[in-house]
């Protein structure tokens, strides 16, 4: 691997980013054909945040947050910082001071496949983080990694500039070349849900609304009146 | 396994359900002789909910929520939907739309040995869910399972109509034939705790209140004044 | 192992305890040279609490909370109770009644390498607990352990009287003989952070504030303009 | 739960048991419609064993193997002992002496949702065990459970007399009422595999043998010559 | 994601593949600068195999092995099949029949971020597999994925044609563009180890052979004669 | 923590070490009152080894094996090297070269709460290792730890010179001050087992041999003839 920092990256279309952030992770993930979801161990450090932005990526050594400091300079307003590690790690590579620095540059949040600390302070300053662990374990600044190269974060390959969408349901990555099309599909799904919700609220069954009765029968589902008839 | 839906199930006594829901999981579990507790990975998606109700059960294929749609029609006011899977799974098999449909039928909550999504919306509509994971991963509707057959959910066998009690401490299952007796014992335990709480608040030691000093001495517990006397 | 209760223990310096509690886990851990942190599976049962105090220690059998009752009597105002087990266990060995008893003696909180129950009631009475699990599983009172002997709790050896610091970032143990020196270093780190925070808020980069550019260059970090230059 | 020992149980058809044991777990599981498989954490303590037999069941308290001693007396030649626990546990509840006793009664092996010890001796005496863990942790004999009641073991409900099939691929449970039909289907699958194996060995592709090309095309699979055509 | 099969891929240099396979995973991984190692949960289903080959990649849906059948046709003699999933899965997606088919085409082995079954038969036919789990759970053939697109497998991004090296220590991925250089470095490391081994066997200390005494002293390591001097 | 190497340690009585090694882990653990067992994730890298020896201890930083090289010099014939880490780690901190060096000094084996690599070579040279993981991940030599200070390894506090017993059942630690007494008790248990084994082989039930029938009846165990009598 090259220990390198790439200065100029192409960021995903900003309108698409806006749309994807508004519909949230579940809808964006469905619209992209159910790909790109990070592993479910990635959890927000506090509930309620919902963000989207192009990724600035960091490949870090476990227990070493040197490259996070390097990455700050490469971030622009609206970006989301994404950190992958070369080996499994839960150390607290990120805390209040780095968040203060990212906040000063307009960064929306952090996605880190490792640990995070100062979680109370981060919630007070409303800087959202999705991480694998919460840990006070401090880190060294000793070994190089890279910034703005492709990284695997929580099971998903992230290219610099890809759209990151994150909320209470998790984190999804939409490649920048697919952002516009996915955003359109996501918006359509989102709009369609309103009608469905109203029908279901009124007591219409999904069985009828989705016309499932016939395919269920064809697949062989059998109704019986009582347990002893099974 | 039969791919079947059982329409008529016997539900546990409703007074017993009410009592067990009021005393909560820890007391109900103790009253039932410390059996029936689901594994501790079953966690509420938001804190504070406490429910009880007879189980409508679903046996689902991993990553496939078809049978949840089927199950909605079998639910009555006050029921709790319980979903077991044929293999380990964390996909988000349940979300806002299904919750809207269950809410319209008066269902109190969901227990699912798999994933849940739309957790923010579910909290806003106050529809409580206890799940193994939070995941935006969408599911297909392709393979049959069964409704209202016995299912193993998070390590416990659940028969349709059994009492499900769920709160911040977890989920316990009381078989319907044991519900009335367990509810009585639970109420008694609950009532007894008030007196104990008051004694302990006043500074009485559990050692004395529970008369433990003698059995401890008999078991061989030794008191020494200083570490070097050990 | 001796099944023994040690009555008189030496507690860490109370001023040091106060300082370490005020700066919190991350800073205390750094000040102690990044040692003494419990495993990250130790989580608060509700967010926001921050405590410090000398440890009263319990070595318990899995699924048996008899020794917790014995330990209550050995606690003084300001202490933190620390429970280790002889084997992995997630049972709910601690709940509202024991908390009531500890509260009556002025104990600040509990650290338990096992499960906890009654979490809603504990939050309402604001008695903080850091545990490995939340579980309603009740426990027996059948086998002896020990009180105020050294115990391993979540990967760290704790001697009676050592300082326990716990907050949303986790739990750290500072040996009592190191408490005063660590508290001084921790206070200094804490004071230094204010200045750094202000600089970072104003947009100064950590790269410059920490003078990292030269060591990064020496280590071989290379900047390129575009992805194709990598 | 009742603390009871049931003396007379109905065992699954012995011919069916023989067939299922001969075809092994994967084929038996497929023949039963892909149900009944225990969780994958159940692993043989040494490779190579393959057994089948009717279940004698034990519900045990964690860390307590009293009921295993009780269960020995209920075992007959050809049985498989199945142990479920009332809470997660990895203690070594079973070892060489109990195996000697079971061997004397002709029991074929043990399935235990907890730990096992003396694994070297067990391999030397060729007494196969499938367990959740290997652990030297000893257990007490203090609390009652039950023998020959339904138990949940590694996620599957086991009724006394059900067929247990176990080999290097894991453990599957076939209810006794389904044993004969499942054995027939399993034998047929097994016989069919020989022909398939020969075709595949000769270089015929599964794509052709299973006639997958058309359904794949219908489902939308597209072939391109080069990566840049994607 | 595109549901596509790429027919022509560029495979890594075959001499480099040979060298990397001969030195094994640990040396290849060191030679590549300690990158590219799959997560440690990837284990061989039986000990002793050591392989290397260019990757043919499969992106599969969890619990669905349809694309594995498709991939067989794209494999050449010497290849290694690599399977990533769109969500965490442990189902037994691969067994004896697929292995027979791959063996007929000269494929060296399988790397699968999911489950494997028929492990006894696979060992008997000496077809090595590195997997996340062993599971008899059967799979469907219902949903498309892709063949010969980049996939994330056990935390590492794999491009078609990249070198896969696998042995008892795990699995490492060397990108095809880095294969020749890495193979040269790996061979050199391998050759150097012989001399070191001989020195160490003769009793020379690593402290002296690696000239560590001075840097250790500079770093502040202190020697004391007795525990009480610490 | 002090970054220090202690040169002179007191080793446990060598006769006791011999006895404990001969009886193995399960018996030693029972003889010590069921304390001192390391967590069950500590597994031998190959089956069949059984060792005992006084501990030389290492406290290492995660991903850094510098102190292992330092520790070699402190080892004597018959010792067992024990490595604890300051944070969870699975990197391959130990391999063939270090084993060669330890072998040259007569060290019997390694216990490491982290990863191990070169497992095939280690088995060929018959140098046994009990570790948390197998991983090819290489390590740096950058940060000091300590040698021959107390370390927590896999949940147990180990003092230099304590007896380590390890076999296929796991690893147990007997403090050196308790070694002689524990060895005597262990020998007695071991001798007693022969007689029990013979009785059980002859078909005597444990129920009778251990005289359990009366206490079981007193505890309330009930025998019924048929399932419907429960």
Of F96, F136, F149, the CB nearest to E37: F136
Q: Which of C25, C40, C202 sits opposite A115 (nearest CB)?
A: C40
ipTM of predicted assembly, 2 dp: 0.95
Cβ–Cβ of D72/F25 closer than 8 Å? Answer: no
Q: Supply C156's token pair.
A: 């760290």
Cβ separation of A201 and B104 shorter than 8 Å? yes
Contacts of C138 in chain B (CB under 8 A): 26, 29-30, 34
Name the residue in chain C with its Cα closest to that of A132: C40
Share of chain E above pLDDT 70, in %: 100
Q: How confident is the model at residue B140 (pLDDT cuts 50, 70, 90)?
A: confident
Is pLDDT of B1 > 70? Answer: no
Q: Where are the alpha helices (DSSP H) in D73-212?
A: 96-104, 119-124, 179-201, 206-209
For chain C, which ranges sit under pLDDT 70? 1
Name the residue among D140, D83, D136 with its Cα closest to residue D114: D83
Rounded to the nearest angstrom, the minimum Cα separation between A37 and chain E is 8
Take residue A94 and report the two structure tokens written for it. 């990120």
> 3-state SS string over B156-198?
EEECCCCEEEEECCEEEEECHHHHHHHHHHHHHHHHHHHHHHH
Cα C117 to Cα C129: distance, rounded to the nearest angstrom: 10
Of E37, E88, E157, the CB nearest to A150: E157
Which residues in chain F come in under a pLDDT of 70? 1
Touching chains C and E? (3+ Cβ pairs < 8 A): no
Cβ distance C221 to A4 less than 8 Å, yes or no, reads yes
Minimum distance, in Å, between the CA of residue D146 and any CA atom of chain C: 18
pLDDT score, position F53:
98
Kindly provide the residue ranges of all beta strands, DSSP E only, lying in chain C, ordered along the sequence.
Answer: 4-6, 43-44, 51-60, 80-85, 109-116, 129-134, 146-147, 151-153, 156-158, 163-167, 170-174, 222-224
Asked if F40 lies within 8 A of C156 by C-beta distance, the reply is no
**C-beta atoms of F86 and C35 within 8 A:** yes
Longest CA–CA separation in chain F, Å: 70
Partner-chain contact C200 A118, CB within 8 Å: no
Closest partner residue to A142 (CB to CB) among F87, F91, F142 is F142
* CB-CB under 8 Å, B155 with D157: no
Size of interface B-D (CB pairs under 8 A): 33
The answer to whether E169 contacts F8, with C-beta atoms less than 8 Å apart, is: no
pLDDT tens column, C138-197: 888 888 999 999 999 999 999 999 999 999 999 999 999 999 999 999 999 999 999 999
Average pLDDT, stretch B63-76? 96
The vertex-E217 CA angle with E34 and E227, nearest 5°, equals: 105
Beta strands in chain E (DSSP E): 4-6, 43-44, 51-60, 80-85, 109-116, 129-134, 146-147, 151-153, 156-158, 163-167, 170-174, 222-224
Phi, psi of F158 (to 5 degrees): -115, 125
Q: Residue C95 and residue D94: Cα distance in Å, rounded?
A: 32
- State the Cα–Cα distance between residues A68 and F57, nearest whole angstrom: 35
Token pair 């416990």 is found at B156
User: What are F110's two structure tokens?
Assistant: 């390694």
**In which element (H, E) is residue A63 found?**
none
The alpha carbon of residue D198 is apart from the nearest alpha carbon of chain B, in Å, by: 31
- Minimum Cα–Cα distance from B89: chain E residue: E89
Contact D12, D161 (CB under 8 A): yes
Residue E43 to residue E133: CA distance in whole angstroms: 8
Residues of A in contact with E157 (CB under 8 A): 150, 152, 157
What are the backbone angles phi and psi of residue F94, rounded to the nearest 5°? -140, 140
Q: Residue E91: pLDDT above 80?
A: yes
Q: Nearest CA to CA, how far is C164 from chain B (Å)?
A: 19
Would you say F102 and F73 are in contact if contact means Cβ atoms under 8 Å apart? no
Are B86 and B145 in contact by the 8 Å Cβ rule? The answer is: yes
Closest C-chain CA to B204: C101
Q: How far is E126 from A226, CA to CA, in rounded Å?
A: 51
Q: How far is CA F129 from CA C57, F99, F101, F119, F173, in A?
A: 33, 9, 14, 9, 15
Predicted pLDDT of residue B87: 87
Is there contact between A and E if contact means ≥3 C-beta pairs under 8 Å? yes
| HSE value, Cβ hemisphere, 13 Å, CA-based, for A189 | 21
Judging contacts by C-beta atoms under 8 Å, the chain A residues touching residue C170 are: 134-136
Chain D residues with CB within 8 Å of chain C CB: 62-63, 87-88, 90-91, 137, 140, 142-143
pLDDT in tens, B141-154: 888 999 999 999 99
How far is Cα A170 from Cα D76, in angstroms, rounded to an integer? 52
pLDDT in tens, chain A (230 residues): 679 999 999 999 999 999 999 999 999 999 999 999 999 999 999 999 999 999 999 999 888 999 999 999 999 999 999 999 998 999 999 999 999 999 999 999 999 999 999 999 999 999 999 999 999 998 888 889 999 999 999 999 999 999 999 999 999 999 999 999 999 999 999 999 999 999 999 999 999 999 999 999 999 999 999 988 88
Q: C222–A70: do the CB atoms touch at under 8 Å?
A: no
Chain B residues lying within 8 Å of A201, measured CB to CB: 100, 103-104
Name all chains with 3 or more CB-CB pairs below 8 Å to chain D: B, C, E, F
From the CB coordinates, do chains A and D have 3 or more pairs under 8 Å? no
Give the tokens for residue A45: 């450090």
Q: Do B206 and C97 touch (CB under 8 A)?
A: yes
Rounded CA separation A139/C205 (Å): 19
Nearest to C155 among F35, F36, F152 (CB): F152
Which residues, in sequence order, are CB contacts of D200 under 8 Å at separation 6+? D206, D209, E97, E100, E101, E104
Are D82 and D52 within 8 A, CB to CB?
no
Mind telling me how many Å the CA of B154 is from chain E's nearest CA?
17
Q: Among F95, F101, F105, which would you mutate to test the E interface (most chain E Cβ atoms within 10 Å of its Cβ)?
A: F101
Could you tell me what percent of chain B has a pLDDT over 90?
92
pLDDT, position D1: 64
Interface test with D, best of C1, C60, C62 (most D CBs within 10 A): C62
Residue ranges for chain D with pLDDT beneath 70: 1
C93: CB partners within 8 A, 6+ apart: C60, C63, C64, C65, C68, C83, C112, C114, C115, C116, C139
**Nearest alpha carbon to residue D151 among D141, D162, D138:** D162
Q: Pick from C143, C149, C165: which is nearest to C56 by CA?
A: C149
């Amino acid at each position: 691997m090259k220990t390198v920092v790439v200065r100029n990256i192409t960021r995903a279309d900003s309108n698409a980013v806006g749309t994807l952030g508004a519909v949230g992770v579940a809808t964006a993930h469905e619209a992209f054909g159910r790909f790109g979801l990070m592993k479910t161990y990635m959890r927000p450090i506090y509930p309620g945040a919902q963000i989207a932005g192009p990724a600035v990526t960091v490949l870090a050594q476990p227990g070493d947050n040197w490259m996070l400091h390097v990455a700050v300079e490469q971030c622009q307003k609206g970006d989301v910082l994404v950190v992958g590690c070369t080996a499994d790690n839960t150390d607290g590579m990120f805390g209040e001071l780095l968040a203060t620095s990212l906040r000063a540059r307009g960064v929306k949040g952090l996605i880190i496949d490792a640990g995070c600390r100062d979680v109370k302070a981060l919630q007070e300053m409303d800087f959202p983080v999705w991480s694998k662990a919460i840990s006070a374990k401090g880190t060294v600044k000793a070994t190089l990694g890279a910034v703005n190269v492709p990284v695997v974060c929580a099971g998903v390959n992230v290219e610099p500039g890809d759209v990151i969408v994150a909320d209470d349901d998790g984190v999804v990555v939409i490649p920048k070349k697919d952002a516009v099309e996915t955003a359109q599909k996501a918006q359509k799904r989102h709009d369609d849900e309103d009608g469905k919700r109203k029908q279901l609220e009124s007591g219409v069954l999904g069985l009828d609304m989705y016309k499932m009765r016939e395919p269920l029968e064809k697949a062989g589902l059998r109704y019986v009146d009582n347990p002893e008839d099974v």
